[in-house]
Amino acid sequence: MELFRKKSIASENSNNSLKQVLGAFDLTMLGIGAIIGTGIFVLTGVAAAKYAGPALILSFIIAGLACTFAALCYSEFASMIPEAGSAYTYSYVAFGELIAWILGWDLVLEYGLASSAVASGWSGYFQGLLSGFGIHLPAALSSAFDASKGTFIDLPAVIIVFLITFLLSKGVKESAKFNAIMVIIKLAVVILFIGVGVWYVKPTNWTPFMPFGFSGVTAGAATVVFAYFGFDAVSTAAEEVKNPQRNLPIGIITALSVCTVLYIIVSLILTGIVPFGELGVKNPVSFALSFIHQDWAAGFISLGAIVGITTVLVVMMFGQTRLFYSISRDGLLPKGLSKVHPKTQVPIASTWITGLLVALFAGLVPLDKLAELTNIGTLFAFSTVSVGVAVLRKTRPDLKRGFKTPWVPVIPALAVIFCVYLMLQLQAFTWKGFVVWLVIGLVIYSTYGYKNSRLNKAKQKQNIA
């Protein structure tokens, strides 16, 4: 069927017009840059107070397992198809064009909303830091549009988005260097929290351990799974990687391993310092240090949170630009989005359109209710990629794989079971929004993508010949 026409791997691997400059260390830093940020500095408090209590550690383990199983599947695909586009490209090879488009459109939602939400979080921490120096922005410029509160635009969020767009337009190696420096600062801040906080842990704060029952733990896992999504963005950099068959799996799995360990330690210390009911704040990590009167360290943590959230924004926006580039190159979106600048070898149009869209959402739209849409979109992508690994093992056993997912089909099956289970913990509102977004995507594909697809045009040429 024409809707399920597939791309060949050989043509994709010879289709690279981006500069190959990233090594395993760069990829690990990109992954940690995307993973440690909003999850550890913002979501830990809400998840503990509302859902899991001290059993937050179990929420992180469940979410971490789901993402580990999916990451093993991503690693096989990334080593086999080192091309920009992540899950979108993998699905094009495994399932065909329609499924690939649905997944690509789903990832546009994930990266776009995640970037906007992260920019809003950055703005909150930045304004908190300014207020410490007695500087307060006018209310109209301090938050997204809300007539009842007299706010019109979140100016700091818009400014940081445009600064990062400018950085990304200068070239991927420059962006990776900036990211690596920021990640080292961020890791130092997390280690500072662990080093200071561990001496103030009161085991009595860990009882009751599971105040909301196991359903609270799973609802917490569905919330904090957002904290792990960065490894997906690593695979979007595939075309800019030296020796991708080796370096991509190393980058993805190392980043995920480091972050899972840090999340578990931080959540243990956090709930050990502060009674879980008091953690429902926007800045739980610095709040915990203030709670034990370590204000000097709380100040460093606030600064580290700003740095941490900046790196997440860099990697999320980078992922969005490479996704637009890849979909456009296949003809499913306008061709201008895949034009590469001759000097920097960066897809400039994709980069600036991403910046404009993210700034628009971050500046004008309150994103608290839309955060779950990011989660459902990503879990859907993880499930599809995991099924794809099992499918290609059966249909294309001949393909060269630099990394092989162990225990296929057990690992892919576990990834799907965990991801679908977490999706089912999300609210009905999230499912409705997700379905509406996919319907809009199908309309775009049927009116533009199907006709302009590169595969469709290639077939028409063959028919003429």
Instruction: Please give the domain boundaries of the chain with CATH numbers for all domains.
Output: 2-8+24-459 (1.20.1740.10)
Express each pLDDT in 363-411 by its tens digit: 887 655 666 778 888 899 999 999 999 999 998 888 888 888 999 999 9
CA dihedral sign of residues 403, 408, 409, 412: negative
- Counting beta carbons within 10 angstroms of the beta carbon of residue 364, is it exposed (0 to 12), middle (13 to 18) or buried (19 or more)? middle
State the first-to-last Cα distance of the chain, in angstroms, to the nearest integer.
21
SS3 per residue for the chain: CHHHCCCCHHHHHCCCCCCCCECHHHHHHHHHHHHCCHHHHHHHHHHHHHHHHHHHHHHHHHHHHHHHHHHHHHHHHHHHCCCCCCHHHHHHHHCCHHHHHHHHHHHHHHHHHHHHHHHHHHHHHHHHHHHHCCCCCCHHHECCCEHHHCECCEHHHHHHHHHHHHHHHCCHHHHHHHHHHHHHHHHHHHHHHHHHHHHHCCHHHHCCCCCCHHHHHHHHHHHHHHHHCHHHHHHCCHHHECCHHHHHHHHHHHHHHHHHHHHHHHHHHHHHHCCHHHCCCCCHHHHHHHHCCCHHHHHHHHHHHHHHHHHHHHHHHHHHHHHHHHHHHCCCCCHHHHCCCCCCCCCHHHHHHHHHHHHHHHHHCCCCCCHHHHHHHHHHHHHHHHHHHHHHHHHCCCCCCCCCCCCCCHHHHHHHHHHHHHHHCCCHHHHHHHHHHHHHHHHHHHHHHHHHCHHHHHHHHHHHC
Q: Are 101 and 449 in contact (CB under 8 A)?
A: yes
Q: According to the model, what pLDDT value does residue 443 have?
A: 96
- What is the reported pLDDT for 4? 84
Res 73: pLDDT = 93
Q: Write down the pLDDT at residue 125.
A: 78
The pLDDT assigned to 89 comes to: 86
354, β-bridge pairs: none
Distances from the Cα of 347 to the Cαs of 198, 342, 369, in angstroms?
A: 46, 10, 31
Rounded CA-CA distance 57/333 in Å is 42
> pLDDT value at position 113?
85
Q: How far is CA 165 from CA 64, 293, 310, 335, 352, in A?
A: 30, 38, 12, 20, 6
For tokens 């799996």, name the residue: 249
> Can you tell me the distance from the alpha carbon of 423 to that of 380, in angstroms, rounded to the nearest whole number?
8
d(CA 400, CA 398): 7
Q: Which residues of the chain have pLDDT under 50?
A: 11-12
User: In this structure, what are the phi and psi dihedrals at residue 22, rounded to the nearest 5 degrees?
Assistant: -95, 135
pLDDT for residue 374: 81
Cα–Cα distance measured from residue 91 to residue 111, given in angstroms and rounded to the nearest whole number: 18
Residue 241 has φ and ψ, to the nearest 5°, of -110, 135
| Structure confidence at residue 10 (pLDDT) | 57
CA 129, CA 142: separation in Å to the nearest integer? 13
Closest listed residue to residue 30, CA positions, set 22, 42, 41: 22
Max distance between CA atoms of the chain, in angstroms, equals: 78
C-alpha to C-alpha distances, 125 to 199, 233, 315, 462, nearest whole angstrom: 26, 24, 19, 57
Q: Tens digit of pLDDT for each residue in 272-314?
A: 999 999 998 777 888 899 899 888 888 888 888 888 888 888 8
> What is the token pair recorded at 449?
């993508």
